[in-house]
Structure 1
Amino acid sequence: MNAFVQRVDQAAEALRELFPATPLQENDYLSRKTGARVFLKREDLSPVRSYKLRGAFNFMRKAIAEGAGKEGFVCASAGNHAQGMAFACRHFSVRGTVFMPTTTPQQKIEKTKHFGGSWIEVQLHGDFFDECYQAALDYSSARGALMVPPFDHPDIIEGQATVAHEIAEEMGNSLEGALVVLPVGGGGLAAGVTRFLQGIEAEARFAFAEPAGAPSFAQSLAAGRRVKLPQVDNFVDGAAVAEIGREPFKQLRKFSSESIYLVPENRLCSTITEMLNVEGIVLEPAGALAIDAFKDFQAKELHGRTVVAIISGGNFDFERLPEVKERSLRYKGLKKYFIFRFPQRPGALRDFLELLGPEDDITRFEYLKKSARNFGSVLIGLETRDPRNFAVLLRHFDEAGWAYQDITDNETIANFII
């Protein structure tokens, strides 16, 4: 038997001490929508609502067996990795310290403390993750605590590969010719799943979904080496990684760049709201990546095929729901923002309102500047039920002689004033 496969089998068996295999569910809605037979691997239903527990558990299990970690464990994370390590610390009854940026939402801090109980200490340090990570490294060096990496370690990859072990056990021969769609951030999950399924000679095809605002895997494949991005869009916080891991890239560098699908963040918001409203499935942005990638496949690529999409997590902060809805509407073309040069005269607002159609609604009206005697700059948000309505509306604005600027897709201005 392939040595890696054997180690993953052992890790999966040990993992049953914590929780049963997560469900692999055939999804009728997505199957009808794509023409494929779609299965969802529900890592959002693990005890910590993500797959990260697998890698942390396996790393710590092996370290403890080798006599390491006697001074405790430490990690730097503001999300799923922190919660996974905390849960594992409580399971093994070992001390752990989690470093989080001071900007971490209180909800994530409390969840980490809940999973770790009295075995975990949370330390807030720095406004940005790099500062937080350095503090964790300094703590590890000074105290002798063992650093638990989020993805860049063979034992972490081996633990994440237990996802593939469970899929293979349940699907058996049905995996032959299947398409497995994997989210990619640091690459630990994708590296583990692909290596395991190739190790058991499952004739599956792989596709990778990566945030368009953090394409470290795509750019690294194109360059033939790991590339560190100068900046990333942090919206998909569970997968917004500036540089794919060294160990994961060793496994993943053999794949074609054509197998990577870059998922636009605003389009991803539509998938999150769709799955919540239609299926009642709560997905964090990274957890929706694999499902959203379906939109980039041609119908003939999916029709009649077995597809397995891995939902990597469901730790969604509902305080972000207004932002998700907003971005979804903008992607669908149902909401736009304008800056109007508004005349300062009686009846001007009434004249403007008369240009709106029965399906058009003002969602925001705010003076940005009213110092001029004759005109003022006004931010106006408009929402409609059909994107085609905006073509009519803009024609009405032009015919009426209104001066305006559409800032919907101007990220610099929109992020500053919306």
Structure 2
Amino acid sequence: MPQSYIKKILEARVYDVAIESPVDPAPLLSKRLGNQVLLKREDLQPVFSFKLRGAYNKMMKLSREELDRGVVAASAGNHAQGLALAAMRLGVKATIVMPKTTPQIKVNAVRARGGKVVLQGDTYDEASAYAQKLVAEKGMVYVHPYDDPDVIAGQGTVGMEILRQVTGPLDAVFVPVGGGGLAAGVAAYIKYVRPEVKVIAVEPEDAACLKLAMEKQRRAKLSEVGLFADGVAVAQIGKETFRVLRKTIDEVVTASTDEICAAIKDIFDDTRSIAEPAGALALAGLKKYVEREGCEGKTLLAIDSGANTNFDRLRYISERTEIGEQREAILSVTIPEQAGSFKKFCAALGKRNITEFNYRYSDDRDAQIFVGVAVAEGGADRQELVASLREQDYPVLDMTDNEMAKLHIRHMVGGHRPSAVASELLYRFEFPERPGALMNFLTKLGNRWNITLFHYRNHGAAYGRVLVGLEAQRSERKEIGQFLEQLAYPYHEESDNEAYSLFLS
């Protein structure tokens, strides 16, 4: 029974390596949601994740003879770093089997903490099989990342701390789930001590192994697992964790990639820290729960479980955030192919801020533009925008929920100059980024030259950057230059740029 974990959690040895992480308020998000939102900051642990709690507690339960044989684990992330640090503190040899596809930053982090890294296979399953081979051949002790009672008890100290730190009203605790170790430990403790507090598990939509198990009332394996939230990318919930979770959690909520990205931004706005996707997962579930239930005035806590993300992923996260918050509409709109059409269309959008504008001349009848527009949070404003444009006789296709459009098409709109455009000059502009800046730019540019290419994306920088193609002869360069000087925007002619000649001209 889950009650058997209470004594294990109370006796867990974690504070030799772990800190009692703070519970921080999220004032900006609390005001926006109309509820008191709290964050349990496990991202502040020495390895930037809760995982060292379970790894260390497990090792403290091993005999001296077992420790002398060395420990081994298969992991591509946080468990590897936690085990390496725990082993270093205890003077124990730790071997971590990692897939060859593991990012170098994580390999280096394990080595920096004294772990021996063995790169084996391309997937976690292949690495895990090799780790079991080491257990059989060399007698090493395998430390499971989640499906072990001592590991679960170590993670359960997070729940113990939450109830010690939040002594007043606490309506629900949201916990991320991969294999289920953290959720099982937290749920077992909270439900025993304060059964009125809801414990809600949160999974990615594309890696919802607990949700599948709860629906089938047995453990089942997902045929495919999404890897964006790699810290919880598990195909099958643990055997022991499921035994506990099926009796302790109140429900499972799933979150999309865009919703997770939006939660990463929310955490940054309130704490100035960057959570990894799995770290922000619980908050994404909290927000979804509030929207579904319409609750107000409640005290809700989400566990920020980690901050081990690769820097190169931030571009993708930033790109998807506004859509995840439903603050950006992605539209395909047909406008007349004639001078002044861009300006007229911008006027039709009203005071909404344009976040993206992609266009390439196709024929002399219609222009197909790919446009991003800032809208109010929620779907109502987006629907009103689409309806308003259609009332003004603009053919509109809402592609906000179109994965291919968001991932690929937005970066591919364009192509080579069509034969109908005899000659084209290319210019790159910068202008101060503020609401209405794009409209002001188009107004100043006027109708003097036909626009044959247009690319603009608001990246939140101080200056907006626009690439514009003008239907003009090279003999008009001087005249265009004189005109552009009057615009007072910094510009560069790119007509001779190699990238232009290869991909656009």
The bucket for the TM-score relative to the shorter chain is 0.7 to 0.9
**Alpha-carbon deviation of 1:87?**
0.9
What is the aligned counterpart of 2:125 among 115, 124, 130? Answer: 130
Q: Percent identity?
A: 34
In structure 1, the residue matched to 2:493 is none
**What is the rounded CA distance, in whole Å, between the counterparts of 1:98 and 1:27 in structure 2?**
36
Matched, 1:294 2:286: yes
- Preserved contact between residue 151 and residue 245 of structure 1 (Cα < 8 Å): yes
Aligned positions of 1:154-173 closer than 5 A: 154-172=149-167
- Preserved contact between residue 184 and residue 208 of structure 1 (Cα < 8 Å): yes
Matched, 1:244 2:237: yes
**Alpha-carbon deviation of 1:198?**
2.8
In structure 2, the residue matched to 1:77 is 75
- Preserved contact between residue 76 and residue 132 of structure 1 (Cα < 8 Å): yes
Q: How many residues align?
A: 395
Aligned positions of 1:236-315 closer than 5 A: 236-254=229-247, 259-298=251-290, 302-315=295-308
Q: What secondary structure is seen at the aligned counterpart in 2 of 1:180?
A: strand
**What is the rounded CA distance, in whole Å, between the counterparts of 1:137 and 1:350 in structure 2?**
69
Q: Letter of the aligned partner of 2:272 in structure 1?
A: G
**Alpha-carbon deviation of 1:260?**
1.5
**What is the rounded CA distance, in whole Å, between the counterparts of 2:310 and 2:276 in structure 1?**
8
**Alpha-carbon deviation of 1:236?**
1.2
Aligned positions of 1:18-417 closer than 5 A: 18-63=17-62, 65=63, 67-114=65-112, 116-117=113-114, 120-172=115-167, 174=168, 178-254=171-247, 259-298=251-290, 302-331=295-324, 332=326, 334=328, 336=330, 353-354=342-343, 356-357=345-346, 359-360=353-354, 362=356, 381-386=370-375, 388=382, 391=386, 395=390, 409-411=401-403, 415=407
**What is the rounded CA distance, in whole Å, between the counterparts of 1:30 and 1:244 in structure 2?**
31
Instruction: Show structure 1 runs of 5+ residues with no match.
Output: none
**TM-score, normalized by length of structure 1?**
0.82
User: Can you list the C-alpha shifts for 1:280-326, whole angstroms capped at 9, x where unaligned?
Assistant: 13211111122222323347764333322211112222211111122
- Preserved contact between residue 83 and residue 112 of structure 1 (Cα < 8 Å): yes
Q: Letter of the aligned partner of 1:185 in structure 2?
A: G
Q: What secondary structure is seen at the aligned counterpart in 2 of 1:21?
A: coil
**What is the rounded CA distance, in whole Å, between the counterparts of 2:156 and 2:272 in structure 1?**
27
**Alpha-carbon deviation of 1:39?**
2.6
**Alpha-carbon deviation of 1:399?**
5.1
Question: Cα RMSD over matched residues?
Answer: 3.3
**Alpha-carbon deviation of 1:164?**
1.4
Query: Could you say if the C-alpha distance between residues 365 and 56 of structure 1 is closer, same or farther in structure 2, counting changes exceeding 3 Å?
Result: farther
**Alpha-carbon deviation of 1:43?**
0.5
- Preserved contact between residue 355 and residue 393 of structure 1 (Cα < 8 Å): no
Q: Letter of the aligned partner of 2:306 in structure 1?
A: G
**TM-score, normalized by length of structure 2?**
0.69
Q: Letter of the aligned partner of 1:385 in structure 2?
A: A
Query: Could you say if the C-alpha distance between residues 382 and 301 of structure 1 is closer, same or farther in structure 2, counting changes exceeding 3 Å?
Result: closer
- Preserved contact between residue 327 and residue 374 of structure 2 (Cα < 8 Å): no
**What is the rounded CA distance, in whole Å, between the counterparts of 1:136 and 1:353 in structure 2?**
60
**What is the rounded CA distance, in whole Å, between the counterparts of 1:413 and 1:235 in structure 2?**
18
- Preserved contact between residue 78 and residue 104 of structure 1 (Cα < 8 Å): yes
**What is the rounded CA distance, in whole Å, between the counterparts of 1:61 and 1:26 in structure 2?**
33
Higher relative contact order (CA 8 A, sep 6+): 1
Query: Could you say if the C-alpha distance between residues 235 and 380 of structure 1 is closer, same or farther in structure 2, counting changes exceeding 3 Å?
Result: farther
**What is the rounded CA distance, in whole Å, between the counterparts of 2:338 and 2:309 in structure 1?**
40
Query: Could you say if the C-alpha distance between residues 3 and 230 of structure 1 is closer, same or farther in structure 2, counting changes exceeding 3 Å?
Result: closer
Q: Letter of the aligned partner of 2:107 in structure 1?
A: I
User: Can you list the C-alpha shifts for 1:181-205, whole angstroms capped at 9, x where unaligned?
Assistant: 2111111111111112233355322
**Alpha-carbon deviation of 1:414?**
5.7
**What is the rounded CA distance, in whole Å, between the counterparts of 2:400 and 2:54 in structure 1?**
41
**What is the rounded CA distance, in whole Å, between the counterparts of 1:302 and 1:76 in structure 2?**
41
- Preserved contact between residue 70 and residue 141 of structure 2 (Cα < 8 Å): yes
**Whose Rg is larger?**
2
**What is the rounded CA distance, in whole Å, between the counterparts of 2:280 and 2:128 in structure 1?**
26
- Preserved contact between residue 98 and residue 118 of structure 2 (Cα < 8 Å): yes
User: Can you list the C-alpha shifts for 1:91-141, whole angstroms capped at 9, x where unaligned?
Assistant: 111111112222222212222222x23xx1112222222222222222332
Q: Letter of the aligned partner of 1:20 in structure 2?
A: I
- Preserved contact between residue 232 and residue 242 of structure 1 (Cα < 8 Å): yes
**Alpha-carbon deviation of 1:349?**
8.8
